[in-house]
Chains A and B, each alone.
Chain A
Amino acid sequence: MAATRVGPRAREIFTTLEYGPAPESHACALAWLDTQDRLLGHYVNGKWSKPEHRNSVPCQDPITGENLASCLQAQAEDVAAAVEAARTAFESWSRLPGAVRAQHLSRLAKVIQKHQRLLWTLESLVTGRAVREVRDGDVQLAQQLLHYHAVQAYTQEEALAGWEPMGVIGLILPSTFSFLEMMWRICPALAVGCTVVALVPPASPTPLLLAQLAGELGPFPGIVNVISGPASLGPVLASQPGVQKVAFCGALEEGRALRRALAGEGAELGLVLGAEALLLLSDAADVDSAVEGVVDAAWSDRSPGGLRLLVQESVWEEAMRRLQARMERLRSGRGLDGAVDMGARGTAARELAQRYVREAQSQGAQVFQAGDVPLDSPFYPPTLVSDLPPASPCAQAEVPWPVVVASPFRTAKEALALANGTPRGGSASVWSERLGQALELGYGLRAGTVWINSHGLRDPAVPTGGCKESGSSWHGGPDGLYEYLRPSGTPTRLSYLSKDLNYDTFGLAVPSTLPAGPETGPTPAPPYGLFVGGRFQAPGARSSRPIQDAVGNLHGYVAEGGAKDIRGAVEAAHQAASGWAGQSPAARTALLWALAAALERRESALASRLERQGVELKAAKAEVELSVRRLRAWGAQAQAQGQTLQVAGLRGPVLRLREPLGVLAIVCPDERPLLAFVSLLAPALAHGNTVVMVPSGACPLLALEVCQDMATLFPAGLVNVVTGDRDHLTRCLALHQDVQALWYFGSAQGSQFVEWASAGNLKPVWVSRGLPRAWEQEAEGAGPELGLRAARTKALWLPMGD
């Protein structure tokens, strides 16, 4: 018999039945680092770039602290070079037939498949995440993403006709991300024809490896460029000429700062912020399975962040006991060990958790920690926090990984109020075996993703995103594609930054208005006042502004609205919101068609007001007619929203719901006072929003004419129209924390202000950047872009089984 290879410990293990290490060899990761002489630069235009005289940062094993490599830090000129490479690549890549791009993406998937061991060991080695999660989860999903998006590229010409790729996409990723976050974004961008520059944090080799794999595929170097550098380079990347969109994922305050910094820059900004999830556990749940949901959501290496756990009071004791018993069995350790649930995520993550737990304790919370966790840094044990006073700062703050904050609720209604009572709206799961209750909660949650009786499932075909302060950017599914598309023919986005715009004073003061003589407009004049809460009301300021006609004569007076009027209008819109959102699509259609009919009856009055604004009678009549058509067309579209998706590995559907944004504020352009007003109003209403509108400043009288019909047809508060100084009203709306979205069509300065101010509640904004829009044309006046922006997506996962 051959010499034995047996160590002495079997006897002992036989008695204790403990788990042992199951290490994954990371030799190939080290060998790859050796090919770069342990010095990583940037991967730009299909080759490595290692510029001289740059600072370098060590890339360390987060658990042993061993130095693995040095990573060069980019400077502004490196960023510029990468963007230049991406711009050049865009010229050819975007013009290729979709089928060719599809083939290229499929080839990349194959390359990943061939080198997956290198990918998963490298990723686990440098991030400390459990290798099993990277190997069985991330790497597989990365390939699925490429395959899914290859299909999207293949069908692009047909399925996405009327849209074109934006251009160069800047990607800014946080230090606590998996390479998968990059894949979620580059796959759709590449599929539709964009090229990418990714700015990754110092010491993240995996994205560089991916870029190398993509680059070595050959004919299209420069479609994926990865540079590593400090977060301060984010705005530098975003403001490079040619960068059309910046996709940022990371911490809330960083995103907010970036939103402010990029106001007036050319690039559009897509934000995905925070990582907290929510789990609702009702008394009709399979509690043991829900506990596994908690593990998936917070105590595994697939969870991005911490968890807020709401447990129905009647099962509170039971749930806590099971949770604590389950926690005892969790194992932490070196990520490369195949038998651990949680690796370590570096000292920053550990300190964040430590600080949060200490503060929660000082605010009166109970803390329970358990699990088989090495005592030394950088590990942090799974933590369950309960009895946190609802008003304490920790109860409001974002829960960090790996912490679960549990609190009780009494009824489903209360659960919804608690769950929706945070500024965050990322992902959530609902656990209940009662179908009606589960759907009620699933539909009622304000979140981007809701899983019923499961947590954390992902699929390339299902859009993932959020609402409120979690950001309103999407990846995956159709929504992920539109993130990188724009309607064909849209001009390239250029910086329109006005450096001397003072955010503190823009629109602050209302210029005083004086009597300008008697009104001479067509009679009867529309009722005087602001249209708020279904009736005409006198403005708070009790003053009026004169409106001139095309030749400078006084056309009429309109009310001078102010901050208080905006407040009232937003309140009225909120009161009407749940009623309108709850209406059936058919009811919405009926109301929009009724308004269309009313406008038809009012045609002569509207046409003569347009005439006074210098429009020829024939054109005026055509404009009224077109406005009527717009109302009918959007009314008809109210019927067809949302869809059912079928994904691999899941029995049961995923619903892609299109939900109203809530209260949508719309600042209409000065031009086309009727057509633009109606063209913006109709999609907003068709998608279930209630609106606060600031009509054309040049001629608000047409909007007020329409208000007369809305007063009799519409529920009170559904549409509110406030006239007055546009800058002032824009300021009030943009800074309002309870306005869920804002569309602004006006000056460049106003646009810049809106972008800057939207950082407050991170409402999605759509601004014209001072450019005119062809409202009479189908694409710009009634195109699918309006519908996309008028609602938000929610993915509702409904796994089935007996």
Chain B
Amino acid sequence: MSTHNQGTELDLSWISKIQVNHPAVLRRAEQIQARRPVKKEWQAAWLLKAVTFIDLTTLSGDDTSSNIQRLCYKAKYPIREDLLKALNMHDKGITTAAVCVYPARVCDAVKALKAVGCNIPVASVATGFPAGQTHLKTRLEEIRLAVEDGATEIDIVINRTLVLTGQWEGSDFIKTSTGKETVNATFPVAIVMLRAIRDFFWKTGNKIGFKPAGGIRSAKDSLAWLSLVKEELGDEWLKPELFRIGASTLLSDIERQIYHHVTGRYAAYHDLPMS
């Protein structure tokens, strides 16, 4: 990430003054999903753009170097070459924004990306993911080790005990959730977070990034997330430095939609390579 949040004096009045009307935010969330349909070429272009925002993720207990390798290959070549050619987009170097793995798999990912000649960052969840309920000392050590292994982005689980007791932490990016909760990225929550990002920018000039994660599976969902960011924050936030989508299966649905857009047919399961 190019610029870091330099931080500001903690002014709790910013937080205490915030008013959020829950039913009104729910209403806005409902509207925003219906008001900006994107069709045809626009849909294809938006979907390809969405690919470039994806933190292609695998966070399973049984991850090994082989599926990490496959993931990294898919990150480098997210959409079938012939489909990109048909869209005249083959020379745009479309890759996902990053791959996201557990700390112990960072090494595998760095190696695999190097092997396919891809320079996208490796992100690692760290700090006692997903609960964050470990000691500060081990949390910091975890980050240090992941960075040593080559991770350049760390998704930190904040200490929610501190948050719920009013002790906040700062960051460059804020993420809706770990993706491991029962409820993950929802539009109403996102609206509140995006508005907070905008207010922070208006107050300090610092742009904080936004990453929804968990449960974003369909191409249609990803379009709604893009238009949500476009509507609430504007086009300047629609770049990988400021917007990521944490997802594992989303990419294959996007590829299916692109396939349909290009060929006019619905793809069979085996038509597209797995990740």
Seen from chain A, the residues whose Cβ lies within 8 Å of a Cβ on chain B are 1-2, 4-14, 17-22, 132, 136, 284-290, 292-293, 321, 328-329, 338-339, 341, 431, 433, 453-454, 651-652, 799-802
Contact = CB atoms under 8 A, between A and B. Distances in A.
14 contacts: A1-B263, A6-B44, A6-B88, A10-B87, A17-B226, A17-B230, A20-B39, A20-B42, A286-B19, A321-B202, A453-B21, A652-B23, A799-B24, A801-B22
A504 B82 CA distance: 86
Contacts of B148: none
- Secondary structure type dominating chain A contacts: loop
Contacts of B238: 17
B183 interface: no
Contacts of B22: 801-802
A763 to B, nearest CB: 36
Given A2-B264, A9-B41, A9-B45, 12 more contacts: A2-B265, A6-B41, A6-B262, A14-B89, A17-B46, A19-B36, A20-B38, A22-B38, A286-B19, A289-B21, A289-B28, A433-B21
Interface of B: 19-28, 31, 34-42, 44-46, 48-49, 82, 86-89, 92, 195, 202, 226, 230-231, 234-235, 238, 261-265
Given A6-B41, A6-B261, A11-B89, A433 B19 contact: yes
A13 B37 contact: no
Nearest to A8: B88
Contacts of B35: 132, 339, 341
A284 B38 contact: no
B20 A286 contact: yes
A768 to B, nearest CB: 47
Nearest to B22: A801
Q: 6 shortest A-B CB distances, which residue pairs? A: A801-B22, A20-B42, A289-B24, A13-B45, A286-B21, A801-B23
Contacts, number: 120
A74 to B, nearest CB: 39
Given A10-B41, A339-B38, A801 B21 contact: yes
Contacts of A132: 34-35
Contacts of A19: 36, 38, 42
Contacts of A6: 41, 44, 86-88, 261-262
Contacts of A12: 45
A136 B30 CA distance: 12
Contacts of B195: 288
Contacts of B226: 17
A652 B40 CA distance: 41
A6 B42 CA distance: 11
B153 to A, nearest CB: 23
A12 to B, nearest CB: 8
- Secondary structure type dominating chain B contacts: helix
B50 to A, nearest CB: 10
B27 A292 contact: yes
Nearest to B259: A1
Contacts of A801: 21-23, 26
A292 B82 contact: no
Which of the listed residues A21, A136, A801 has the most CB atoms from chain B within 10 Å of its own CB?
A: A801
B245 to A, nearest CB: 15
A651 B36 contact: no
Contacts of B28: 289, 292
Contacts of A7: 40-41
B263 A339 contact: no
A499 B184 CA distance: 74
Contacts of B264: 2, 5
Contacts of B235: 17
B238 to A, nearest CB: 6
A4 B39 contact: no
Contact of A4 (B38, B86, B202): B86
A2 B34 contact: no
A800 B39 CA distance: 36
B273 to A, nearest CB: 16
A285 B262 CA distance: 48
Contacts of B231: 329
A651 B86 contact: no
A1 B89 contact: no
A799 B34 CA distance: 22
B36 A339 contact: yes
A20 B26 contact: no
Nearest to B21: A286
Nearest to B86: A4
B233 to A, nearest CB: 10
Nearest to A802: B22
B38 to A, nearest CB: 7
Contacts of B262: 4-6
B261 A1 contact: no
A254 to B, nearest CB: 33
Given A6-B261, A10-B45, A13-B46, A21 B34 contact: no
B19 A10 contact: no
Contact of B263 (A4, A9, A285, A431): A4
Nearest to A801: B22
A291 B98 CA distance: 36
Given A6-B86, A6-B262, A285-B19, A453 B24 contact: yes
B14 to A, nearest CB: 12
Contacts of A136: 34
Contact of A10 (B25, B31, B89): B89
Contacts of A431: 21
Contacts of A11: 45, 87-89, 92
A10 B44 contact: yes
A132 B36 CA distance: 10
A19 B234 CA distance: 13
Nearest to B92: A14
Which of the listed residues B26, B39, B45 has the most CB atoms from chain A within 10 Å of its own CB?
A: B45
Contacts of B48: 10, 14
Contacts of A9: 41, 45
Contacts of A286: 19-21, 24-25
A132 B262 CA distance: 28
B263 A2 contact: yes
Contacts of B265: 2
A285 B17 CA distance: 10
